[in-house]
Every structure is written in structure tokens, then in C-alpha cells.
Amino acid sequence: MDYDVLVVGGGTAGMESALTLGDMGYSVALVEKEPTIGGKMILLSKVFPTLDCASCIATPKMASTFHHPQVTTLTYTTIGGIAKTPRGTFEAKLERKATYVDFDKCTGCQKCELACTVAIPDQFNFGMVARRAAYIPFAQAVPKKAVLERYGTSPCTQACPAGIKAHGYVSLIRSGLHDEAMKLILEAVPFVGTLGRTCYAPCERACTRNELEGSVPIRTLKRYAADRYYQLHPQPEYGPPEDRHNERVAVVGAGPAGLTAAYHLARLGYPVTVFEAQEKPGGMLRLIPPFRLPTEVLERDIANVTALGVEIRTGQAVDDPSRLARQGFDAVFVATGTWKDSIPAIDGVDLEGVMGAVQFLTQVAAGNPPNVRGKTVLVAGGGRYGIALDCARTASRLGATRVVVQFRRSREELSSVEWAIEDALEEGVTIQFLRAPAKLVGVDGQLVRVESAEIRVGGRDVTGRVLPGSVGPGTESMEVDRMILAVGQDVGSAGGTSGLHTTPSHTIVIDPRTMETAIPGVFAGGDVVSGPSSVVEAIGLGSRAARCIDRFLRGQPRIRDDVDADLIAVEKSRTLTRQDHYTTLPRASRDLRPAAQRRTDFDEVELGVEEAAARQSAARCIDCGGCCECHQCISACPADAIDFGMRDQEQILEVGSVVVSTGFDLFDPVGKVQMGYGRFPNVITAMQMDRLLSPTRPYNTVLRPSDGKIPDNIAYILCTGSRDFQSDNQLCSRVCCMYTIKQAQLVMGALPLADVTIYFIDVRAFGKGFEEFYEQSKAMGVNFVKGKVAKVEQGDDGNLILQYEDISGEGKVVRTEHDLVILSVGLLPNREALSLFSGGALAPDAHHYVKETDEDLSPGQTSIEGVYVAGSASAAMDIPDTILHSGAAAALSAAYVERVKR
């Protein structure tokens, strides 16, 4: 056996049971789902009828439990199931939630919580104030360690091919931490300004806010972070890292994949040399027209790489990359891209006036554009990456009279470039969907006409992938002077792949797990491996290549998929159910220069956003993952205790006996609509009032939640959700009368001028000293009114009007006004206890508490021999009764363990 006894639940009953058993010499595992033990008692102000400080009683018991040599406390842990073995012992499956904090290092300094940028309702203050996603439950928590609340990876973050923490930087911008946002993005990529303008934003497609009114404008926020930072820092703030490795790395190709790999390798301390065939670095990014990506933004992005000491040798083509390995480079990364236009096999493609998109854009970028002034230009587009639209919009700016784009696909299939389609249409470009050139006709070798065919929608296969369309019967003829073919790109036979194993289409063959080619030490990635891809996908492969090369050079295991793994993305439905309702806000539209103005120049079309708009847009984020991975906690932690590599773990324990001490639930008065809870801020529960009266209260004193006013006329409504058939809880909760009287006395102490009225059916003061406690409160001036409150309404000033039947008077319906109403809510069974066991379920009693099979002679004995119930998991009871009951359960459990051991 791993432990003699498993105690489930770390509240008063669980702690008492564990301590009793531990003192008897039994080994105990105490499991608690929250990050701290203490249950509800530690959250109370004082206890009745002695008015002793609850914290003063509970805290020593928490500490004794946690430090008891026989008790192992497992917080932040739930039970996946418990089954009885043939030997009479029990096998329990524990699910230990990752805390993402190394408890051995954490000092409980709370700096992570102060730095965290995600605000979440504080469950330990019953939602009256915020806590953070990184948090220590409260000052007296045991253990006093921080945990990071993570529900999974936010969908936006998981959707990013480049591994950018999208949720993180959105959260940082929301918090006004703009430099930090930029630095977080720079952790993943050097091309922040570029991606802020050109990315097709898979993050936005994944955004849960799409289920409401539209996604958070995540790409625009990235651009905001870059623009602001680049304005403040025309050059990078950093230089080469101080710690350097000796191994040298060569990168062939200074496009997005190559430079990203160089960036990460240089950050790791490797000397990196980049060989680029073109005259300037940037690769295909240089072909993106400046009205979408201004040259100075690209240059500044590239400076992020060169500032690290990366040497870029332009004008140096490398035909045989393996030669670099022989020249002393310890690793080589080939990322030469796809620079050859794919020319479709249709009649007339060799006519004058026909050219490929790469050829067209290369000539434009070199300052030597083809003459299209006064011409009709037809662009045949593949569609996915928007190159056809870049060509069309460029031709329009170069003076073409008419520009037409033909796509083989429908507009719905081109959703990744929808924004570019809209922009092009605004600028006067004609776009024909489901149409493709079939024949190019020339006169004297010069293109004069294009005949195009209708394309039928291809439908989708079982995986949802769009199938190629077929040619339909419809044809059309158009007079055309220039034609640009933007239907695809190839590596080409001169792609710098000599000596490497390639496919028939000249892409390099690699081991997808390591990105290594057949030649040891030579790696490849980006478009030269995958074929044409988006900028962000190429960047992502560059990042991955850097990790692979680092593992290779450090002699580490080559295949480590876990290193790159995120948590599972949080399901949108799960996120959305966290709130009862949402306020929808209009999605900020993209701010563009007027179409008439922009079609005549190459200045940037899309305008950025100002700080206020950026923060407001970021505030629409609904924090799907809980923790946003902004990494502020990592920066703030002086003990280096934050560990995002932690994962949930399962643990199997064999124990001799089980004590169920899962406590009770509180009645949620939201369902009693007539009481106004959840509708009127000044209607709160007694548990919330206990928090307001406690030393660790959410406010500075007892205040109205509606406006911070010090209340002076407070009402309590007893029996809310107990002794109530309508609420399916006909039981008396046994503690409400006394905790209400306790609070009334405490309020009169805290607010001497306040009037306190308690509306009751009858007061049950049955325990030792309870009647005296009741009489004492009356003597202090608490007003007791026998009357069942039927309805609570709210006035314009936030005051509340109670309507009740005056039972002790004339039986009339009476209306009274108060400025704060406390609902003395009842206790309910915690039904989770009943699902703990498999193969012989724990039997409930008639009220869904854990059934005690012999309440009179063996209190605590459940329907399963060896399983005992302690405290309010069996029935509503106060703290002294809970302590007694837990002792009984512990004794029974010890006796059973002795029998099992024999």
C-alpha cells in the first residue's frame, strides 16, 4: 500500500481526519482540488457563538496538517476514480493538475500575480473582486505557493504556424504593456512588422470571438506593437549574445525561413552566415508591393536579425550546399525558396506579353517594371497567397487601363485573402471567380486575346479539402495586351539543391522529424521543401529548423516532439459557457486610405491604429486559455520558479481505506429570480458578506457593491434555498440562523450606525450557547421580523424594496426599503462525492448526501466497507459537529486499515 488512508477533501473535516489518523501513526494522503487546503472555514470572518476568529483557528490546523510527518498533502489534485481491490484495499486514480510553478523554488512572494495580465473573478472572494491567472489563493493559503490557471492553449496561439503567443501579446497590449508585447513577439519571430501587415492571420480565424461578433483584430494589434516599437527604436536595442558557441552555421537563402532560422540560432549564440543570391536580403518578401509592405518596415525587421551579429552575404548563390559543410560550417540550413513561375500547359503561353508573377514582381521590385501603361492586363490566379492580387494592384498603379483577375476558385474558397479581394475591388480591379484562361491568342507573336473557360465548383473531399474544379461549357473571349500567370511557383532546376535528394518537382527531401537532409548536418526547410507557402508558415519552419539544428549541434536527442508541443487548444464552446451572457461590440474595421488616392501611388494602403483603439480592441479578448502566456510571470519571478513545461499527471495510489470529506455546496440564489441576486448588485449572499467582514476582505470594509457606499440599513433573508421545496431542498441547513446572527453582531460592531433587520420564518437556536447568542443580538438592537420575503425590487438609487408577509403582525403584505440585502443561503450536498467510486457506487441518502448506513451506532460508515464519510459531506452541520464527526470517521477508518493489514 502507498498510504494507509486516502482523505478526499482538504476542508475542516478532511484536515481533522488526516490529523487524527496521522497522530495515530497511519500514513495519510490528503487530496484537495484547490491550490490550498482550509475549505470554506478559512474564508469565514468569525465562528459562532464564540465569535472567535476563523482564520486564527483554521490557519494552525492547516499548517499542522501540511507539516504533519504522516500526512502528504496533494493540492490542485482531483480524483479520477476509486475502485476497491479484491484484497479490500482501494486503488485511486489521482489527476494532478499542472501548477506551472516549481513549488520547491516558489517563495510565495506574489510577484508573478502582480505581473500577470489576466484578470479572473476570485473564487475565494466569491467573485466580488478580481484575482489573476497567476495567483496565490489568499494570504493564509497552505501551501502558500502560486499556481498558473491554464485551461489549455488559446486557439489563436495554437493556430499560429510561427509559434507566436498571440493571446499573450493581445493581453499585454490590453494592459498597456506595449514594449513587452513587442518583445514577446520577438521571442518567436524577427518579422513583426511584416507579419503585422501580410499575415493571413490564422489566429483571427481561430478566435473564439468569431462566435460572437467577429474576431479580435490580432494581426492589426501585432502591427500596432511593431509600428510603435520601431518608431521608438529605429534600430534594435540589443546586440550579439554574450555567451557564444564555437560551432558555425551557414544558411542558404535570406528569405523568411532562412533569416528566421539565422535569428534563432544567433540568439542561441551560434555564429551564423547567410548566403543570398539576390542583391538584397528578404527573399520573396521583397516582391510584396510596398503598398502592402513598405520597404523600410522590411528593412527594420531584417535589422532584428543582423543586430545579433548575423552576417548576410548577398549576391552569393550557393549551388551545392554540401560544399559549405566541407568548408568548415558545422551545420547548413537550405531555404532557397521557390523562385520559378509555374507556367500552365495552355496554348499561347509563349506569346509576347505573357509573363509569370514572380518575373513581373521581380522586375517591379528592381525598379524596371514591364510597360503596362494604357494596357488591358489579365492576371490568372491560383489564389491562396494573394500573389495574383499583388500583381493586379501593382499593374493598376503602373497605369494599366483595365485589370482583370481570374480565379479558378470561388470567393468562399479564397477567404484567406478576402481582405485583399476587397481592397482590389475598391481600387477598380475586376475579379472573375470560377474562371480560368483556356487559350491565349496572338497576332505576329504578340498576345491580343484570351479565351477563358468557366470552372465548376469542385466540392470537397471527406476531409473538407477543396477538390479541383472541372471545366464547364461557358467560354468568354477578352481583348488582352498583357497577361500575368500567378498560378504557382516551383523550385526550378537551378534552385541550389545540387547534391541533395530531391523530388521530381525539385523540392528537397528531408526527414520531417528532424528537418535533416540525407547529408548529415545539412538541413532544409521553407518553400524549397514544402513548395509555395505563406510567409508565416515559412517563418514557422525557420524557427523549427533552428531548434533542430541546435539539438544536432548540442548532441541532444534529435526527435523530441514534446519540446514543440502546446497544450490542447481550449474548445470554443467551453470558453463561451464561462459567462451567462456576453456584450457584443462592433469589430473595429480596417482603416484604409481612400481608394481613389491609393490607386495612383505605392504608399501603404492600410493605416495603423492608435493606442486607445488598440487597447480597446485587445480588451475584446475573452482569455480562452486562462493564462495568456505573456511570460510576465517568468520575468517577475526572482526564484526562476515558473515552468511552462509542466503537464498534468496521473498518479495511481493503493490505500487501505478512504475518508470522504468533500464538504457541501452553497445554494446558488440566481435561480430564485424574485430575490434579485445577479440582477441587483446590492443583493449578495451571506458567504459574500462573511468575506466582507473577514480580515482578508475584498473591500476595505463592508460596502455596497453597487457604489461603495457604507450601508446603514441592512436586511438578511433567512432560509433562502433551504426548507424550500421549490428549490428542491426541504432540509434545514442548521447553520444559517446562527451565521446570520453572527454577521448581524459583527456588522453592528463594524458599522455602529447601521440598522440590521433579519427576516425569518423561525429562528432555530438549538446548540450550546445558541439561544444566548440569539438573545444577545436582540439586546444589541438587531431587528427580527417574522415574515417570508416574496420579492426584492431595486430603486433608482440602488436601494432595495422588500415585499413580505408580516406573519407576526396582521398578516398584511408590507414593503420596506434597505440599502443592502443579504441572502442567508442554505447548504446543499456536494454531489461530486457520489461519483468518486466505480464498481460499487457510494450510496446517497434521500437528500443526495453520502448515506451513513448506521447513523446511530457507526456514524461515518458508508455503503462501501472501508469508505467513511466525514463532516458535511454526510449532512449540513456546523464546525464543532464536523470535528466530532471527522474523529469518528477517522477511528472507523483506522479500524478498517488494521483489518486489511491482517
- Binding residues for other proteins (CB under 8 A): 114, 117-121, 127-130, 171, 174-176, 578-583, 615-616, 618-619, 622-623, 678-681, 698-701, 703, 705-710, 712, 793-796, 798
CB of 535 to other proteins, least distance (A): 30
CB of 798 to other proteins, least distance (A): 8
CB of 777 to other proteins, least distance (A): 24
Nearer to other proteins, 83 or 130 (CB): 130
Nearer to other proteins, 133 or 186 (CB): 133
CA-CA distance, 757 to 743, in Å (whole number)? 11
Q: Which one-letter amino acid corresponds to residue 252?
A: V
Nearer to other proteins, 74 or 820 (CB): 820
Q: Which one-letter amino acid corresponds to residue 442?
A: G
CB of 113 to other proteins, least distance (A): 8
Taking a C-beta distance cutoff of 8 angstroms, is the pair 435, 380 a contact?
no
Taking a C-beta distance cutoff of 8 angstroms, is the pair 193, 230 a contact?
yes
Which are the contacts of 41, defined by CB distance < 8 A and separation ≥ 6? Answer: 11, 12, 47, 54, 57, 58, 879
CA-CA distance, 286 to 736, in Å (whole number)? 73
CB of 591 to other proteins, least distance (A): 20
Nearer to other proteins, 115 or 536 (CB): 115
| Burial group, residue 258, by CB count within 10 angstroms (0-12, 13-18, 19+) | buried
CB of 584 to other proteins, least distance (A): 11
CA-CA distance, 476 to 899, in Å (whole number)? 92
CB of 793 to other proteins, least distance (A): 8
CB of 290 to other proteins, least distance (A): 34
Nearer to other proteins, 349 or 576 (CB): 576
CA-CA distance, 219 to 618, in Å (whole number)? 11
Nearer to other proteins, 123 or 600 (CB): 123
CB of 417 to other proteins, least distance (A): 31
Nearer to other proteins, 524 or 684 (CB): 684
CB of 707 to other proteins, least distance (A): 4
Nearer to other proteins, 403 or 609 (CB): 609
CA-CA distance, 784 to 775, in Å (whole number)? 11
CA-CA distance, 166 to 163, in Å (whole number)? 8
Nearer to other proteins, 147 or 683 (CB): 683
CA-CA distance, 538 to 544, in Å (whole number)? 10
**Which of the 8 DSSP states describes residue 826?**
P
Taking a C-beta distance cutoff of 8 angstroms, is the pair 656, 900 a contact?
yes
Using CA atoms, how far residue 901 sits from 239, 655, 861, 889, in Å, is: 67, 11, 19, 18
CB of 557 to other proteins, least distance (A): 40
Nearer to other proteins, 453 or 693 (CB): 693
Residue in 390, 380, 467 with CA at minimum distance from that of residue 432 = 380
Nearer to other proteins, 3 or 151 (CB): 151
CB of 577 to other proteins, least distance (A): 11
CA-CA distance, 190 to 184, in Å (whole number)? 11
CB of 680 to other proteins, least distance (A): 8
Residue 134: all three cell numbers together: 497567476
Concatenating the DSSP letter of every residue in 165-194 gives: -HHHHHHHHHTT-HHHHHHHHHHH-S-HHH
Nearer to other proteins, 127 or 608 (CB): 127
| Burial group, residue 448, by CB count within 10 angstroms (0-12, 13-18, 19+) | middle
Using CA atoms, how far residue 720 sits from 563, 671, 773, 774, 783, in Å, is: 52, 11, 22, 19, 18
Residue 554: all three cell numbers together: 548540442
Residue in 391, 164, 404 with CA at minimum distance from that of residue 292 = 391
Nearer to other proteins, 451 or 793 (CB): 793
CB of 123 to other proteins, least distance (A): 11
| Coil/strand/helix, residue 777 | helix
Taking a C-beta distance cutoff of 8 angstroms, is the pair 490, 508 a contact?
no
| Burial group, residue 467, by CB count within 10 angstroms (0-12, 13-18, 19+) | exposed
Q: Which one-letter amino acid corresponds to residue 626?
A: G
Using CA atoms, how far residue 10 sits from 72, 403, 659, 665, in Å, is: 11, 72, 11, 14
Which are the contacts of 35, defined by CB distance < 8 A and separation ≥ 6? Answer: 75, 76, 99, 136, 137, 141, 143, 145, 147
Nearer to other proteins, 438 or 576 (CB): 576
Q: Where are the alpha helices (DSSP H) in 141-285?
A: 155-159, 166-174, 178-188, 192-198, 202-206, 218-232, 256-267
CB of 221 to other proteins, least distance (A): 13
CB of 98 to other proteins, least distance (A): 23
Nearer to other proteins, 11 or 669 (CB): 669
Nearer to other proteins, 281 or 698 (CB): 698
CB of 41 to other proteins, least distance (A): 22
Q: What is the 3-state secondary structure (H, E, C) of 460-481?
A: ECCCCCECCCEEEEEEEEEECC
Concatenating the DSSP letter of every residue in 510-574 gives: -BTTTTB-SSTTEEE-THHHH-S--HHHHHHHHHHHHHHHHHHHHT--S--HHHHPPPPBPPHHH
Nearer to other proteins, 318 or 630 (CB): 630
